[in-house]
Amino acid sequence: MAEQRQKIEDLTKQVDALDKRIEAKSGDDAALVEIRSQLEAVDKSLLESGVAFRPRLTEINSRIGQLGSAPAEGQPPEPEMVANERRALTTEKAEINVVLGKAEDLSVRVNGQLNKVAGLRRDLFTNMLTKRYELSSALDGEVGHAVQWEFSRLYNSVSSWLRFVVQFKYRAVVAATFFALLAAAVLQFGGRRLFGRLINRDPVLEAPSYLSRLSVAFWSTLLPTLAMGVFLAGTVALYNYFNVLRGDIGLLIGGVFFVLFVAFFVNRLSHAALSPDMSNWRLIPIESRAARLLVWLITATAVVVGLDYFMGLVSETLSSPLSVTIVKSLIASLVVGVLLVLIGVVRPFADENGASRPWPAALRYFLYGIGIATIVSALLGYVSLAQFVSQQIVITGAMLATAYIGFLSSRAISEEGSFAETPIGGWLKSRFDMEETTLDQLGLVVSAAINILIVMVFLPLVLLQWGFKPADMAAWLSKLATGFRIGTFSFSPLALVTGAVVFVLGYFITRWFQGWLDGSVMARGKVDAGVRNSIRTVIGYAGIALAALIGISSAGIDLSSLALVAGGLSLGIGFGLQNVVSNFVSGLILLAERPFKAGDWIVAGAVSGTVKKISVRATEIETFQRQTVILPNSELINGAVGNWTHRNKLGRIEIPVGVAYGSDVKRVHEVLLDIARSHPLVLKNPEPFVLFAAFGESSLNFEMRMFLSDIGNGSIVQNEIRFAILEAFEKENIQIPFVRREVTMKAIPQLTEWPVDDEKAEAEYLEQLSAKAAAKQKQPASRRRKPDPA
């Protein structure tokens, strides 16, 4: 208790000091980032203090619950020892709550300061972009003298440093430059050695694939740029290590290296995408002359932006007047705006007749708009805004373009059959004899790895370019690691990834152990195939379950919190998952009791076949017609199952035979017994037996009973013995009767006249009626009877 109180008091003093620093450094973005990091550390310490009391509070609450409620008025008093313990626990709990309350109040205060720092940083960024300078006062007659004074001081600083280097640090500079260049050369030439076909364009190839063009454009930009970055960063690091750089020169050298890096990066990217020398490797179908012009314009834009940044460092290092900085940024912004407009003016495409065509309207107007907006912003005095837009157009645009090419190449690699056509895929196929399906799956893995690489490399660079600090990204990573809370559950993305990785590792270790145990231990021990399958299945499920539990724990998920899930699952079982659970339990019983195993010939109801696989839900049976039947395990547990090969494959077959009455039955018995004994697959012990089974209606019925060591050969043996019976009976003149049936045909008398009820009689009757009606119509009118008046 005393330790936590002192800790909270110290944290309170630290928060008070940081509060004062916020007020003093409200205009310094870097100082605000540092203050925010310290506040986050304080907040983390407060959280640890709260967690430290949690076990003791749990113990106190549990003990108070065991003691029960204090006796009410009028009831017998409780023992003094119990009352003293209750008072002590209650007092301690109250003290802990007081300390936790102070920690919570301080945490609220810290969060308020963090929000204040975030607001100050937003205001600084907004003020920087919206600040307007009076160009008339900046472009007065004293600007020329200020510029001349700045260059004079720059020349003096650089020349004095060079004299110092030549006199005292010459060998250190040479050694540092050599080792930095060596590191860059190793990266460059090693990359070419490993990924040569992904970097170099083949001039002989007339029509390279889209994937090849994307890969060459991406890697020919990324690897040389990384080598250049290693050289420049290594040079600065070694110069600092050998104490070659002083403060101001270090900033200037860093600015020069930044200009070189930006210009090199943008030039490599534009050259890789537009390929002015080899039109067949071009990502955009433009004319070669336009491609060369665009490469020059884009590189010039990058150089101007880099020089603007360098000149800003010079002014900051030498404490130059503000008017000098404004003039240099104004000129750079105007030049960048003009270059952007010129890029939009270029007509890179050609129609069917060879006439040049401009960019698509949307892109062309976008370039015009950005260029004109940059020029207008600079002329109106919003120099910082124009400078910021220029830098983002060039640097952020180059980064995003490179990342986009990488994403396109990653997507192309993930398409079916694409990875096999790459140089690496072809080498893997020839070297390890991989199948197309395996190469496609490997292509998906490579695609995911490229995407992760692009995000890890370019996302921090883009964030840094947009004004975020390394401390900001460190804070985000810390939040990813510590996680966030939703209700009573805590989630950490990093922990979730760790849990997933642990589960995957556990899964592959389980599969490896299964293969080793089955292929090495049990195979050498001549263990039965069915036993091996059962052991392998049980180990597989147990290993995956163990890997899942370890993965869940590594992900930071409390297993006790899964009680709610278990309750919901039990409710689901009660309503609709009875069959699933029944099959699951039945599968465990089958694997444990082993009434049959893989390879056994079983009969379950109407299904007869060989067991191929026993899973926890169903059993796979292959019939003799090569049909696969998936039978739920509960049916095999609850129903009768016949197993022909339960303990061994020994089995008996029967062949019924009928002979004609009058045959020598003893000779028939001898012949059949000789045939059974002479077959090589029929066992001598138990010996075969021929039974005189019955007197049939038209035959004397015998039955051959033979035992085989492998009942699976029963059909073969029965077939061969039936052929042997026919041959032997033919030699012995023994007849096999068959049922004779006689068919008698009765003579049907011919009909001489139609039956009375036939249709012919009906037709004749109708004809007679029609004739009478016609005769009536022909009679004279006088003879016709008058109609009845009634």
Distances 544 to 338, 509, 537 between C-alpha atoms, Å = 64, 10, 11
Q: Within 10 Å of residue 51's Cβ, how many Cβ atoms?
A: 9
| Cα separation, 235 vs 735, whole angstroms | 107
pLDDT exceeds 60 at position 721:
yes
pLDDT exceeds 90 at position 724:
yes
Mean of the per-residue pLDDT values of the chain: 78
Q: What share of the chain is helix, strand, coil (3-state, %, to 5)?
A: 70, 10, 20
| Cα separation, 23 vs 632, whole angstroms | 73
Q: Who contacts 526 (Cβ-Cβ below 8 Å, separation ≥6)? A: none
At 571 the pLDDT is 62
Cβ(253)–Cβ(245) below 8 Å: yes
Cβ(70)–Cβ(78) below 8 Å: yes
For 718-739, what is the mean pLDDT?
Answer: 89
Q: Who contacts 292 (Cβ-Cβ below 8 Å, separation ≥6)? A: 276
Cβ(480)–Cβ(406) below 8 Å: no
pLDDT digits (tens, 9 = 90+) for 100-118: 788 888 888 888 887 888 7
Residue 312's nearest CA partner among 245, 232, 383 is 383
Q: Who contacts 329 (Cβ-Cβ below 8 Å, separation ≥6)? A: 308, 312, 378, 383, 384, 386, 387
Span of 83-87, 93-97, 322-326, 630-634 with lowest mean pLDDT = 322-326
Q: Who contacts 146 (Cβ-Cβ below 8 Å, separation ≥6)? A: 320, 321, 323, 324
Is the pLDDT higher at 463 or at 341? Answer: 341
| Cα separation, 412 vs 334, whole angstroms | 40
Is the pLDDT higher at 434 or at 631? Answer: 631
The model's confidence at residue 742, banded by pLDDT at 50, 70 and 90, is: low
pLDDT digits (tens, 9 = 90+) for 190-237: 777 666 555 667 666 677 777 777 777 777 888 888 888 899 888 888
DSSP state letter for 682: B
| Cα separation, 6 vs 15, whole angstroms | 14
For 727-749, what is the mean pLDDT?
Answer: 77
At 141 the pLDDT is 58
At 489 the pLDDT is 53
For 179-198, what is the mean pLDDT?
Answer: 76
For 463-475, what is the mean pLDDT?
Answer: 69
| Percentage of residues of the chain with pLDDT beyond 70 | 82
Q: 702 pairs with which residues across the strands? A: 657, 692
| Cα separation, 129 vs 262, whole angstroms | 23
Span of 555-564, 577-586, 644-653 with lowest mean pLDDT = 555-564
| Percentage of residues of the chain with pLDDT beyond 90 | 6
At 712 the pLDDT is 82
At 782 the pLDDT is 45
Q: Who contacts 738 (Cβ-Cβ below 8 Å, separation ≥6)? A: 698
For 676-680, what is the mean pLDDT?
Answer: 91
DSSP state letter for 611: E
Q: Within 10 Å of residue 657's Cβ, how many Cβ atoms?
A: 22
pLDDT digits (tens, 9 = 90+) for 484-540: 555 445 566 667 777 788 888 888 888 888 888 877 777 776 766 666 777 777 788
pLDDT exceeds 70 at position 645:
yes
pLDDT digits (tens, 9 = 90+) for 145-170: 777 777 888 888 888 888 888 888 88
pLDDT digits (tens, 9 = 90+) for 55-66: 777 787 787 777
Helix (H, G, I), strand (E, B) or coil at 357: strand
Cβ(464)–Cβ(474) below 8 Å: no
Helix (H, G, I), strand (E, B) or coil at 578: helix
pLDDT digits (tens, 9 = 90+) for 342-400: 888 888 887 777 778 887 888 888 888 888 888 888 888 888 888 788 878 888 877 78
Cβ(325)–Cβ(312) below 8 Å: yes
| Cα separation, 335 vs 651, whole angstroms | 97
